[in-house]
Amino acid sequence: MKIFVLTVLLIGGVMSKTLKDDDFDDEENEVQGGYENMIKDPCSKKVCGLGKECDLDEDNKPICVCTRKCALEEDPRAKVCSTMNVTFESECELYRQKCLCRRNQQGCTDRENRRGHLDYFGECKEIPQCKDWELEEYPIRMRQWLYLVMEELANRRDLQGQALKLAQEAKTKHNKKWVIPVIWKFCDLDKSMDKMISTRELLPISAPLKPLEHCTGPFLESCDKDGSGDITLSEWGQCLGLESDDIEDMCETLRTPSQ
Ligand SMILES: [Ca+2]
């Protein structure tokens, strides 16, 4: 199980690099390109959110429409479970439905789909209740994974600059062993760099882990102590068992490429 979880977290690490941090409700985040590109291909600079794609209106202006067709997925592993506990054939299909149902368009299979987000990968399943003692030991396991993931990425030279240096420090300095990987993961997840991890930013960890580790959901919820919907660095550090003196914002350092 340990190896499996590690692999999943490593894949999650890669995924977090490619995941666009568009908000769930990203209608207003859609940007338009310059005049020059409009001549070549009006859609070339138009960015549409999840579940949408670019199309041209009657004036030949690029607009975002709901994705017309998702690739047919034959692999059952492409299935995803939404926060409304509905299984979709793929992540694409989930966000396509969300778009269609929000806009009340033909093809929406259930109006409730407009509210759902990605919860975890795979078909929806019954996730056993997390017992108190399991929840208590979860942070210890989580930071061990984070340590191993950071070490593995360092070995593969997938970490650069200061991040690589800090990974080596975590390995050699006993008192930094957990501190560095925990803070590194926070910075890695905070793609928007607003010093908070949103539910969407948590997905690279939560979506693959939830179906494997039944305490993932309750644990991550418990990290958001004030229930604001975002996890701050201090909340993250505390919920992973760091001493408050050790919780130091190293994100800028970690993002510094090597000189
Ligand atoms: Ca953020």
Distance CA(3)–CA(226), nearest Å, equals 33
What is the CA(16)–ligand 1 centre distance, in A? Answer: 12
Distance CA(32)–CA(191), nearest Å, equals 22
Instruction: Count Cβ neighbours within 10 Å for each residue of 111-122 and write b for 16 or more, e otherwise.
Output: eebbebbbbbbb
pTM, two decimals, is 0.81
User: Which region among 12-21, 87-96, 151-160, 248-257 has the lowest average model confidence (pLDDT)?
Assistant: 12-21
Q: Which residues contact 88 (CB under 8 A, 6 or more apart)?
A: 79, 80, 81, 82, 94, 97
What is the CA(255)–ligand 1 centre distance, in A? Answer: 15
Average pLDDT score, the chain = 88
Mean pLDDT of 208-232: 95
Domains of the chain: 28-66 (no CATH), 70-116 (no CATH), 132-254 (1.10.238.10)
Residue 119's SS3 state is: strand
Rg (CA), the chain: 20
Q: Is the pLDDT of residue 236 over 50?
A: yes
Element (H, E) at 219: helix 216-223
Q: Which residues contact 161 (CB under 8 A, 6 or more apart)?
A: 256, 257, 258
Q: What integer pLDDT is reported at residue 73 of this predicted model?
A: 87
- Report residue 151's pLDDT band, with 50, 70 and 90 as the boundaries: very high
What is the CA(198)–ligand 1 centre distance, in A? Answer: 6
Residue for token digits 């429409």? 65
Higher pLDDT, 189 or 31: 189
Q: Please say whether the beta carbons of 219 and 138 come within 8 A.
A: yes
What is the CA(188)–ligand 1 centre distance, in A? Answer: 10
Distance CA(57)–CA(63), nearest Å, equals 7
Cβ neighbours around 3 below 10 Å, total? 8
